[in-house]
Structure 1
Amino acid sequence: MSKELRLEPILISDALEIKDIMIKIVDDESVRWFKNGDKPYVPGYNSIEMQKYHTWDNKYYKIIYENNIVGVVLIYTTGKEHGRIDRFYILPEYQNLGMGSEVLKLVENLFQDISIWTLDTIQQSQRNHHFYEKNGYKLVGQDSEERYYCKKNNNINDKIEKKVESKDFSNSNLRNCDISDVDLYSCNMSNSKFSNMELCKNTYANSNLNNSRFTNDNMSNSVFGDSNMSKVEICHVSLTDAYIHDVNLDVDKENCNITIKRCDLNHSRIIDSNLQNLNIENCNIDGMYINGIDVEEMVEVYKKYKMK
C-alpha cells in the first residue's frame, strides 16, 4: 500500500473538497460513537475558511490513495522535539485497510527530528484507543471526554544537547538569565511571575492559561493556540495587526462573555462572527459600518422614527 499512499500539503484551492470530506467524516463519527445528536468536537470542520487557515505553515496534509483524497492529517510542531497530531481522519469507506498505520509512518518520516508525539482522541471510540496503542502510543491521561496519548523516540531524544529533565526549579528566582530559544515541554509553570521580560515571538500551544494576567509586556509575533484562556486579563497591550479568530465562549455555561473596555479598535474588522446579544455602550462610532451601512446614519434614522 505504501507505494499507492502519500501525503501532500493541502492547498487553499483544496479547501472546498476538504470541507466536504470533513463533513462526511464527522457525520459518520457522530452516528458511530455519539448519541442524542451530539458530535465530536472538531472546530471549524464545516468551514472553508478554517480549512484555508490550517494551511498557513504547510503542515495540513491530504491523505492520497490511488490519486483520491481519502482523509487529512494536521501536524503542529513546537520547539525542538515536540510534534502533535491535531487532526487525523480517514473517510469511512477507506478505514480498516491498514492505511492509518501507514500514514503514521509517513508522518514520522516527514518529521524525523521529532522525539515526542502527542495526540488526543475521544473516549467513545475504543477502536481509536486500540489503533494508537498498537502503533506505540501510551495513554498518559484522560478525562470524561478525551484520552491523551504520547509516543517517545528515545534515540532522537538522546541526541539533544543541553537537555534538562525532571529537575525541580519550583520557588526559584531567575535573574538576568538567557533563556532564549528554550523548549519547554510538559512543565508546570503555574503561579510563576514574569516581569521585565522580552516575550516576543513566543508560541503557546495546548496550554492552560486561565486566570493569567498580562500587563505591559512585549508579546509581539506570539501565538496562542489551542489554549484555555478563560478569565484571562489582558490590559495595557498593543494589539496592532492582531488576528483573533475562532474564539469559543462556551455559550452553554452561564456568565460566559468577553468585556472590551477602553480599547482603541479604530480601523478594526469583525468578519463572519456571532454577535448575538452584543452590547455596545458609550463608544465612538464615527465611521463604523455594519454590512456597508453607516451606523451613525442608522441611529439617526432610528431616533427620527422613534420621535414620530
Structure 2
Amino acid sequence: MSDHGKIEFVPLQEEDIVLLTTIMTRSFDEDARIHLGEGHRDGPAGYDNGEFLMRYGVLASNDSFTILMHGEAIGVAIVWIQDEGNYYLESLFIDSSIQNMGIGTRIWRMIESKYPDAKMWKTATPGTSKRNHHFYIDKCGFKLINILNPGDIEQETYELEKKMM
C-alpha cells in the first residue's frame, strides 16, 4: 500500500457539513451506481442534505471526525461508544475519487489504534454494497453475523462485528 500522505482526524464541526455532505453524497451515490446501475442514488436518510451528519455527527454525543488528507477533507468517521469495550462504527466514508487505493484500510487501522480498549466493533452496511462487504470483511477483519431483510434489495442489511484480541 502506498503512502498517500498525512491522514488526520479532527472533530467534525457544523461549518464543515456542506462540504462533507457533498463528499458523502458523491460516495454513496457512486456505490449505488456501481451496485444498482446508472441513475440510482442511495444512502441513509439525510445523507444528501446534511441532516445525517448534523444528527449523528454534530448533535449526538458520538466521536465524530472529519478525515483530512494533506489538510483537505476527504471523508467522515462516526464512532458510538456503546459501553465498556463495545464500539459501533456508525459511518465511515471517503470521497469516491480516492476509493480503492488503500486509504480506507489505513483509516480503519487508525480508528482501531485510537480505541485500544475496544473488545468488540460492530457496524452494518447495505446488502447491495458488495465493495463494503469486501472492505469490512476482507480488509478490516469483520465477520458477517446477520442479514436483516434478506432478498429485499432496498432493506437488506449486513450486520458485521469484529472481536479484538
Structural mapping, 1:240-259, within 5 Å = none
The alignment status of 1:25 with 2:27, answered yes or no, reads yes
> Match of 2:58?
55
Establish whether residue 42 from structure 1 lines up as the match of residue 47 from structure 2.
no
> Is the contact between residue 118 and residue 149 of structure 1 (CA under 8 Å) also seen in structure 2?
yes
Partner SS, residue 129 of structure 1: helix
Q: Which residue in 1 is equivalent to 2:159?
A: 148
TM-score (norm 1): 0.46
What is the aligned-residue identity percentage? 23
Offset at residue 49 of structure 1 (A): 4.4
Q: Structure 1's 26 and 17: CA in aligned 2 closer, same or farther, altered over 3 A?
A: same
Mind listing any 5+ residue stretches in structure 2 that lack a counterpart? 151-155
Structure 1: stretches of 5+ with no match in the other structure = 155-308
Structure showing the higher strand proportion among its residues: 2
Contact 1:9 1:58 in 2 (8 A): no
Aligned length: 154
Matched, 1:137 2:142: yes
Instruction: Write 1 or 2 for the structure with the bigger share of helix.
Output: 2
Return the letter of the residue paired with 1:32: I
Is 1:2–1:102's contact at 8 Å kept on the other side of the alignment?
Answer: no
Q: Distance in 1 between matches of 2:42 and 2:54?
A: 21
* 1:61-109 residue CA offsets vs partner (Å, 9 max, x unmatched): 1111111111111111111121111111111111111111111111112
Structure having greater relative contact order (Cα 8 Å, sep ≥ 6) = 2
Matches within 5 A, 1:133-282: 133-134=137-138, 135-143=140-148, 144=150, 145-154=156-165
Which of 57, 63, 69 is residue 65 of structure 1 equivalent to?
Answer: 69
Residue type of the alignment partner of 2:161: C
Query: Is the Cα–Cα contact under 8 Å of residues 7 and 106 in structure 1 kept in the other structure?
Result: no
Amino acid at match of 2:94: I
Q: Using a 3 Å threshold, how does the CA distance of structure 1 residues 21 and 2 change in structure 2: closer, same or farther?
A: closer
| 1:139 counterpart letter in structure 2 | L
Structure 2: distance between partners of 1:49 and 1:40: 15
Change (3 A) 1:96 1:41: closer
Give the whole-Å Cα distance in 2 for the aligned partners of 1:39 and 1:62. 23
1:131-162 Cα shifts (integer Å, max 9, x gaps)? 212221111111321111110114xxxxxxxx
Q: Please report the TM-score for the alignment, with normalisation by the length of structure 2.
A: 0.82
Q: Which of 1 and 2 has greater Rg?
A: 1
1-structure distance, mates of 2:86, 2:146 = 17
- Could you report, residue by residue, the CA deviation over 1:2-54 in whole angstroms, capped at 9, with x for unpaired residues? 75111111111111111111122222122111248554341211233442332
CA RMSD, Structure 1 to Structure 2 (Å): 2.0
Q: What SS does the corresponding residue of 2:58 show, helix, strand or coil?
A: coil
In 2, Cα distance between the equivalents of 1:36 and 1:99?
26
Name the aligned partner's letter for residue 16 of structure 2.
D
